[in-house]
Structure 1
Amino acid sequence: MTRRTALLGMAAVIIGFGAIVAPAQQQVRSDRAGMPTIVQRLPYASRDWRLTLEVVLEGDYNHNYSRRQTTQDVIDLEKAVVVLPVAPATASSAPRTSDVVADLRGDRGQIDATPRTLDDAGRLLEGYPGGDRLVALDVDALTTHHLRARVQVPMRCWETRIDERRAFAQRWPTEDIEDLYPEEALSALQPERFIESDAPEIRELVFNWTGGDPHILQPYTLAKTLAAKVIEHYMPLDDRYTTLTLDGGYNFYVVLPVAGTYYGLRVEGAVAAATADQHRGPVFDLPNLLCAVYRAAGIPARVVIGYDTRSERQPNAYPAITAWVEFFLWDNANARGEWVPVDIVPQRAFASKAPPIQQPWKFFGQNEDSEWICPLSLHWHPPTFVMSEGPPLLWGWLPTPGDQHVTQRMRVLTTGLSKRGDDPPFDGTTERP
């Protein structure tokens, strides 16, 4: 079975759960009495959700057709750690980390050695590129046919609007950005798996599109200009998922027949998109390419992978898994930065040429649909030394022994939450229901 291992490992910091917030987003929205942020979350257009991400590992099935017999391999572990994503606050969302719940189950139900809630004995790993976070679940000695890892994250999602007059007015910082930007923004300038911003192919695109001097344009103008170039350069094909074949291989060209169940996500990376034959390829590589181009031009950027809750009610109208880019814009007058959301996938669906730069774009900084979309992760594969059991699927594990004959699948579900006045605020906000 093909295994995907992470190419980029970063040290994770284990911290408590009672007061976790996303540092940059807290900074962005902390000055409530001063000038409003450039990107505004609309309080009258918000929804509260409980997002459930569930990964199931099953022992491989072995078919003996001559004898008409089927057997199933067992998952035999001395120990293991399973990691699942817990996305930080984004431009359009904020989780309530203190209420996150995670658990593991085997054939016999709840695994006692695993914490039921994060604030009980769980581990949240922080310090990954862009501010991403992982929850780690430990497994002691276990023999089972099925292993299910699940995390549930309550969050609030908002519709967003942008003040383009102020955005266009921002200039490049005159001070050293290492003294200004938070760590999550600085880390969003570095190359990583699928976002190969240091590759010659990416740098050549940026050179050609900017005349070799990206900073001749101010940050917001540059971000819009590069987005327009990426829209013209690459045509996404809507083949987002992979499906399992009978021989245990993975077919990269068939959309999954079972709604809500995923065996893998089709992701090839920014370089593949930059050099694609006939300039077309997987839809998820459109945001990958834009993110890599931003980083190569000196703009901190991250890919946000989300789940469209509307797909549960109208599966043929909305793709379930979606992805967009957020770039970091420094507000000089208020000495703070904020993440600006850019979703060029629907923009590219309108036309192969972007609107004029000075004209507002429907999905650049503003999004009328983002209250329906729950962020899952900032990485296609966890950015640490874990592996998946097939194509990238947001999760990973480190089993002992390492040779486990298993098949992976993921399910994502959401439940709308009622807003109660006594609920605690979401991370980085003071807003009450």
Structure 2
Amino acid sequence: MTRAAAVLLTVALGAASHAADPPLITHTTDRNDYTIRFQVFIKPSRDASADRFALTMADIYFPFIESTSSSTGDPNSIRTQFWWRKQIATEEFRILPAVPGFGRFGAVEFRADRFAFRGAGVPSLDQTVTEEVRFQYEFASVNRETVFDEKRAAQIPWPQEFPPELRAWLQPEVLIQSTHPAIVALVNEWTGANPRALGPVMLAKQLCGHVVDHMMPTEPAFGNNTRGGIAGIDVQGAAFAAVEKSGSVFDMAALLVAVYRAAGIPARLVVGLDVERTNRQRTPAFQAWVEFALLDPSDNRVEWIPVDVVRQRSFSSRAPRINQPWEYFGNNRFLDTAMPLSFHFHPPDRAVGSGGIVSFNAHALWGWTPSPLIAEMDQTLNIVVMGTPQRGGR
């Protein structure tokens, strides 16, 4: 459908309704209701000395996005399974408390001593040994295109200060090194060491343009396991992209988040799935974009504004003029087929209240703390996206 013909919905996802002053981000009637099934298979790598491994206990962590500028997740749709010794060991999970500056995560607890001898005869010494484990989770979300009222947004000034829940999105994290000297130097160069000379929206747009000009991203980089399967996302991080002026599309998105934070704009990464490409090529088509928080001091309303720096770069190798609308700054006609999965490449320790979280071969949005710690393992991802069945209409 054309934008001119679109019927705009005036309810912004993740933002409060305000009768006299409509949201800055609105949505067309184009929407998709998706359910994702995310599977991880773990087995010894081809380099391992044995084809089995011991596992006595593990805590497994997976991301769940409640809302973005374009999506609303359904926590009641979450389902999990942990397979061990070719059987479902547990389907129980819990949603962890939200931590400011991090997305939501769920947790699954596996204990072999609760399961090892179920239905068995005489216990044997190898009851904790298995050839493979499998973790699966699924959840549903509603996804929409976005339309941005940039003219009105550009009039919003800087707040005197951000509330704690937004200040948390200014902090550095793994792979988004917003205090790294190279990133700080870029921000100083691009802003004349005075970021607030522009309003927050124009600053965000200017910095996006500089990142577009700064690097040429490669095609999505995936980490493979020793069997040639897709293990996850190959990302070097924002500091690498700043210094080398190269990297994957994930590095480019990470760089923009880091640049925003270094300039004083609360921002977050969104790692998602291009649903149409995933279903067409039958392999996970991960993608990444950015959202920055815009706080209106007049009513303290917060809206998250999507910025797809990767698509903007593919649309034009040079940033357009800052005083004209951009195709992927706030506006995005592809977000109805982009399903957000996580605000992080890997579960942060602080987000789940645990340390030593690992995955194998590559970052893959999930992680676990197996005991005993396992080396020389392969993980393989299998992701399926389905239309969510509708009951009684939308």
* TM class, shorter-length: 0.7 to 0.9
Equivalent in 318, 323, 329 of residue 353 of structure 1? 318
Query: Which residue identity lines up with residue 237 of structure 2 in the other structure?
Result: G
TM-score between both structures, scaled by the size of structure 1: 0.79
Number of the residue aligned with 2:78? 100
Q: How does 1:12-411 map to 2 (within 5 A)?
A: 28-31=14-17, 33-42=19-28, 44-61=29-46, 72-111=50-89, 114=90, 116=91, 121-128=92-99, 130-141=101-112, 142-174=128-160, 176-178=161-163, 183=165, 185-245=166-226, 262-276=230-244, 279-315=245-281, 320-384=285-349, 385=355, 386-411=357-382
Q: Which runs of 5+ in 2 are unaligned?
A: 1-11, 113-127, 350-354
Identity %: 35
8 Å CA contact 1:325, 1:342 repeated in 2:
yes
8 Å CA contact 2:15, 2:301 repeated in 1:
no
Question: How many Å separate the matches in 2 of 1:387 and 1:62?
Answer: 19
Query: 1:126: how far off?
Result: 3.4
Deviation readout 1:199-252 (Å, 9 max, x if unpaired): 111100000000010011100000000000011111101141122346xxxxxx
Query: Which residue identity lines up with residue 38 of structure 2 in the other structure?
Result: L
Q: Which runs of 4+ in 1 moved over 6 A?
A: none
Query: 1:86: how far off?
Result: 1.3
**Once structures 1 and 2 are overlaid, which stretch shifts more, 210-219 or 411-420?**
411-420
Question: How many Å separate the matches in 1 of 2:34 and 2:232?
Answer: 24
Query: 1:421: how far off?
Result: 3.5
TM-score between both structures, scaled by the size of structure 2: 0.86
8 Å CA contact 2:26, 2:146 repeated in 1:
yes
Equivalenced residue count is 362
Alpha carbons of structure 1 residues 275 and 134: separation in structure 2 relative to 1, 3 Å: same
Q: Find the residue that maps to 1:126 and give its secondary structure.
A: coil
CA root-mean-square deviation: 2.1
8 Å CA contact 1:75, 1:404 repeated in 2:
no
Q: Find the residue that maps to 1:80 and give its secondary structure.
A: strand
Q: Which runs of 5+ in 1 are unaligned?
A: 1-24, 64-70, 247-255, 423-432
Deviation readout 1:294-318 (Å, 9 max, x if unpaired): 00000000110001110134339x9
Deviation readout 1:61-112 (Å, 9 max, x if unpaired): 469xxxxxxx85223112111111112311111111022111111233211x
